[in-house]
């Protein structure tokens, strides 16, 4: 499958997993050849509107993609595949840091603050567009 030249960004996806006892673990996947676009968006909360950048990340179709329900229920798929779901974190670029909710300075909030200027988003919506010439997974976040 041939993608346009502007599908040229590398992103690092952090999938959030919470076990039955409430322990949180993050799984990191580096994904090359993505399309990234950031535009201003108006976020309305009650009577207040705030303009924040909204970023769309399109990830090329991959045989390593696992639907969220499968990924959450099968540890082997968590270790060797990726998914996209709300509250996952995506950073524009190749990032090697791990997120550890139980270590100061490595929590997800610390991580987001560290990489915000590089282009770090929390996924707020996603869709599977696995058809056509540009099959992909679309994540939108702020």
- In 3D space, the residue among 128, 101, 99, 40 whose CA is nearest the CA of residue 139 turns out to be 128
- Per residue of the chain (142 residues), what is the pLDDT tens digit? 799 999 999 999 999 999 999 999 999 999 999 999 999 888 788 888 888 889 999 999 999 999 999 999 999 999 999 999 999 999 999 999 999 999 999 999 999 999 999 999 999 999 999 999 999 999 999 9
What's the predicted TM-score (pTM) here? 0.93
Return the beta strands (E) in the chain as ranges: 9-18, 24-45, 48-60, 89-92, 120-129, 136-141
d(CA 83, CA 127): 11
pLDDT at res. 51:
84
Number of H helices, E strands in the chain: 3, 6
Interval 51-80: pLDDT, tens: 888 999 999 999 999 999 999 999 999 999
Q: Which residue's entry shows tokens 């108006």?
A: 42
pLDDT at res. 46:
86
- Domain borders along the chain are 9-141
pLDDT at res. 52:
82
């Amino acid at each position: 499958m041939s993608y346009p030249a502007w599908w040229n960004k590398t992103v690092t996806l952090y999938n959030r997993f919470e076990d039955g006892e409430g322990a949180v673990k993050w799984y990191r996947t580096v994904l090359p050849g993505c399309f990234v676009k950031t535009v201003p968006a108006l976020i309305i909360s009650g009577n207040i509107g705030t303009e924040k950048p909204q970023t769309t990340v399109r990830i090329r179709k991959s045989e390593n993609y696992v639907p969220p329900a499968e990924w959450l229920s099968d540890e082997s798929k968590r270790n060797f595949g990726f998914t996209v779901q709300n509250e996952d974190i995506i950073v524009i670029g190749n990032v090697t840091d791990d997120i550890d909710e139980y270590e100061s300075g490595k929590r997800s909030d610390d991580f987001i603050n560290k990489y915000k200027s590089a282009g770090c988003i929390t996924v707020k919506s996603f869709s599977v567009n696995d058809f056509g010439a540009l099959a992909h997974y679309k994540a939108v976040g702020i």
